Amino acid sequence: MNFKPGMNTATMEHYIDFAADHHLEYMLIDEGWSTHEDITHWIAAVDLPEILDKARKRGVRVLLWMRWEAVQKHMAEAFPLYEKWGVAGVKVDFMDRDDQEMVNFYERVVRKAAEHHLVVDFHGAFKPTGLRRAYPNLLTREGVMGMEYSKWSERVTPEHDVTLPFTRMLAGPMDYTPGCFQNATRGEFKPRMVEPMCQGTRAHQLAMYVVFESPLAMLSDYPESYEKQPGMELLEKVPTVWDETKVLNGEPGKYVTIARRTDQNWFLGAMTNWDARDMEIPLGFLGPGEYDAEIFADGPDADKRATSLSVNKKRLKAGESLPVHLASGGGVAIVFTPAR
C-alpha cells in the first residue's frame, strides 16, 4: 500500500474499496474520526465528505462510531446532519450501565435515529430487552464478551463460543465482532493488541456467521488478512437476516449446529469446544430435490495449524446425513444451493 495506515482518508477509502470488492454492504469508520466530545465535525486527517462520496460511488453504506456522552449531547444536531451527509447509521459505545437513565437514553437514541433513517448498533451495551421490536432500525448490540477480548485476555475460548447460543443469544442479536483470520491453537494463542489472534480454527470462525445471530455482522480483521485467503468466499455470500432457523443439535459449552435459510439457500454452521468430535449432521431441513453443498471444514492438520481449511463440494439431498469431523476448537460452515 502507498499510504500510512491509520485514522486518515486514505485508510478509510482502502477499507471502502475492500468492502465494495467483496460485496459487503457497510463500512464502519471507527473511533477517531471525530473528537470524543464533538461528533458534528471530523478531524483534519479525515476528509469525511470525500470518504462518503467514494462510498456512494462504490455502493457501500458508511456507519460512524461515537461515544454515548457525545450522542447524548449532540444527537439533536448530529443525526439530521448524518442524514444530510448520507451516513447510514451509528455505532454508540461505552455506555456500560443499565440504570433507568441509561435505559431511557437507548430509547431516545433509536427514536431520533429512526426519524433520520439511521440504523443503530449499541456497543458497550446491556443485553437486549425487546426494544428492536418497537424500533427495527436497532440492528444489533453487544451485551456479550466478544472477540475483542482476545486482544488482552484468554477468556474468549471455543467453550465460551459454544455457550453463547444457549445463553446470551436467547435475548436477541449480539454484536460479537467475529471474523478473526489470525487463528491459533490453544498452545499458540497469545493476547496481543497488534494483529490480534483468536482461539480455535478458521472453520470455527466461519461457522459463527451462521450460528451467531446479528443483522449487522462485522469482519473484524484487517483487509489484508482476508485477501486471497480460503474462507473469504463464504463471507462474501453469507446473509445476515434469515427466513427460517433450525437447531440441529447441541449441548451448552460443548458443541452446537444451526441451519438457517434465506430464500431457497440454506447455510449451516457447527462449532465445538476444545474437544475434537465427529458428527453425523441430518439434512432433513433441506427442501425437495438435490442441493450443491460447498463445505468449509477443518483441514486435516487443523489441530496443529488452526488456519488450515478444507473446501469441498458435494451434491446432497434431504433424508441423507453428512459426516463431519470437527478439530479441537474447530467447526464447519456449509452453503446449500438448489442444484440446477
Point out the residues that are catalytic: 93, 148
- The answer to whether the CB of 27 falls within 8 A of the CB of 14 is no
Helix (H) / strand (E) element for 110: namely helix 100-115
- The answer to whether the CB of 216 falls within 8 A of the CB of 240 is yes
What is the C-alpha separation between 176 and 164, in angstroms, rounded?
10
Ramachandran region of residue 53, left (φ > 0), alpha (ψ -120 to 50) or beta?
alpha
- The answer to whether the CB of 113 falls within 8 A of the CB of 139 is no
The neighbouring-strand residues paired with 297 are 310, 332
Smallest Cα–Cα separation from 51: which of 63, 37, 68, 40? Answer: 63
What is the helix, strand, coil percentage profile of the chain, to 5?
A: 30, 25, 45
- The answer to whether the CB of 174 falls within 8 A of the CB of 216 is no
What is the C-alpha separation between 232 and 209, in angstroms, rounded?
12
* Residue 338: how many other CB atoms lie within 10 Å: 15
- The answer to whether the CB of 47 falls within 8 A of the CB of 35 is no
